[in-house]
Amino acid sequence: MRLGILGGSFNPMHTGHVRMAVEAREALGLARVDLVPAAAPPHKPGPGLLPFGLRLRLAELAVHGIPGLAASGVEGELPPPSYTWRTLEEYARREPGAELFFILGSGTLLDLPDWKRGPDLFGLAHFAALHRWDMDLEGVERMLTAHWPGVRREAPALWRFPSGKTLSCLEMPRLDIKAADLRVRWRERRSLALLVPPAVEEALERGGAEYEAAWGPRRPL
């Protein structure tokens, strides 16, 4: 089975996240893509982050009814902080025989050498980077050859590593949606229609103390 893993803080999950999962599933022929909220993201510590259980619930609402997409709370069962290498090793344990594909946005691709155990990542899974506008593929080439000896370019947007794993750079529709902007809109009680899936919009509109504790108080009605 070809299994995709799309991780993120998802604070909150929005339409761009869901569309990224759909695009990767179709382009790579994946049986399933799991959207995996980070339980304790090391790059976003401190206040402003919804509790993990609430972010997981929003992810479940976001993918409900979409073929081939699921939400996974696996990182809530792993020691903090939430590192990609640990998640991939856990997936390999839970899904023996699955061919794993880790999906990320192009904006974070060039940071891979600085990730915890970054040099090991291309031995644990295939990677797919999705971009919403022209991507600097030559910059990707320079980064890969500088940090992963033996990598070879097999196509303009495809590289293979000595482990046999690959990196694919894929295009997707441009949906310039940012979670930080959504949090501002939520506090100001502005419409989130079409920016987040309808079930997520409904949950956010209901709101609650946990949302305000993380994101700040909403404008009074």
Mean pLDDT score, 9-32: 97
Residue 175: predicted pLDDT: 86
Confidence of residue 42 (pLDDT cuts 50, 70, 90): confident
CB environment 94-123: b (16+ within 10 A), e (fewer): eeeebebbbbbbbeebeebeebeeeeebbe
Asked whether the predicted pLDDT for residue 128 surpasses 70, the reply is yes
User: Which token pair is 39?
Assistant: 């339980």
Confidence of residue 44 (pLDDT cuts 50, 70, 90): low
C-alpha 42: how far from chain center: 14
CATH code: domain 2-171 is 3.40.50.620
- The model's pTM: 0.95
Kindly report, as residue ranges, where domains of CATH 3.40.50.620 are found in the chain.
Answer: 2-171
Asked whether the predicted pLDDT for residue 5 surpasses 70, the reply is yes
The mean pLDDT of the chain is 95
Q: Is 89 strand, coil or helix?
A: helix
Residue 46: predicted pLDDT: 67
